[in-house]
Amino acid sequence: METMRLFIAVDLSESMKAALIEAQNEMYDGGVRGSYTREENLHLTLAFIGEMPDAEPALEALSGVSFTPFELSLEGLGCFGDLWWAGMRASPALEALARRVRRALADSGVPFDRKRFSPHVTLLRKARGPMPGIRIGEASMTVDAFSLLRSDRGKGGMIYTELGRFPAAPAREN
């Protein structure tokens, strides 16, 4: 049986991607080598599902997740071993969205990686060299949707295909 590799993520705005690409360029210019994340693959993972034979159970589970739009801002750089990332400013709304997504998956019996949610965007894998003294540029965006994505290995790296998009509920007027 053929399976597909699935994850749930927030797509980033063009301005946020531009700030991340600038940081990657500074790393590269500083002599850091490794596998840089391509611009079209920059995203914020809410939950990693992994291999599934069918996306339908995840799509159904996620269709019930509701949230209102919220702001997301870049903040800081860090690493998990040789994986380097850009962090996000603390956001109760982002934490709540990740909890809702994960609860919907769990309630529907869709398996996912239960590691603690740590909001970050992967910039570089297999990093070699010292982390240059750079700062991540200021960038913010409004999160108004999240997506279920399929990940396939292609000739030039990973190819992500959106299988479903889940928009936020409109913000209520006061």
H/E segment holding residue 105: helix 92-107
| pTM assigned to the model | 0.92
Sketch out the chain's domains with CATH numbers.
4-167 (3.90.1140.10)
Cβ atoms < 10 Å from Cβ of 44: 22
Q: Which residues contact 129 (CB under 8 A, 6 or more apart)?
A: 30, 31, 32, 33
pLDDT at 174: 55
Q: Which residues contact 133 (CB under 8 A, 6 or more apart)?
A: none
* Nearest of 136, 148, 40 to residue 84 by alpha carbon: 136
* Nearest of 128, 123, 134 to residue 33 by alpha carbon: 128
Q: Which residue has the tokens 């840089």?
A: 36
Q: Determine the average pLDDT of the residues in 45-51.
A: 97
**Of the residues 6, 98, 104, 120, which is catalytic?**
120
Average pLDDT, the chain: 93
152 is catalytic: no
Q: Do residues 47 and 105 lie in contact, with contact meaning Cβ atoms separated by under 8 Å?
A: yes
Tens of pLDDT, residues 159-168? 999 999 999 9
**Of the residues 6, 37, 42, 43, which is catalytic?**
43
Q: Determine the average pLDDT of the residues in 8-29.
A: 96
Helix (H, G, I), strand (E, B) or coil at 44: strand
pLDDT at 169: 87
% the chain with pLDDT above 90: 84
120 is catalytic: yes
CA distance 52 to 61: 14
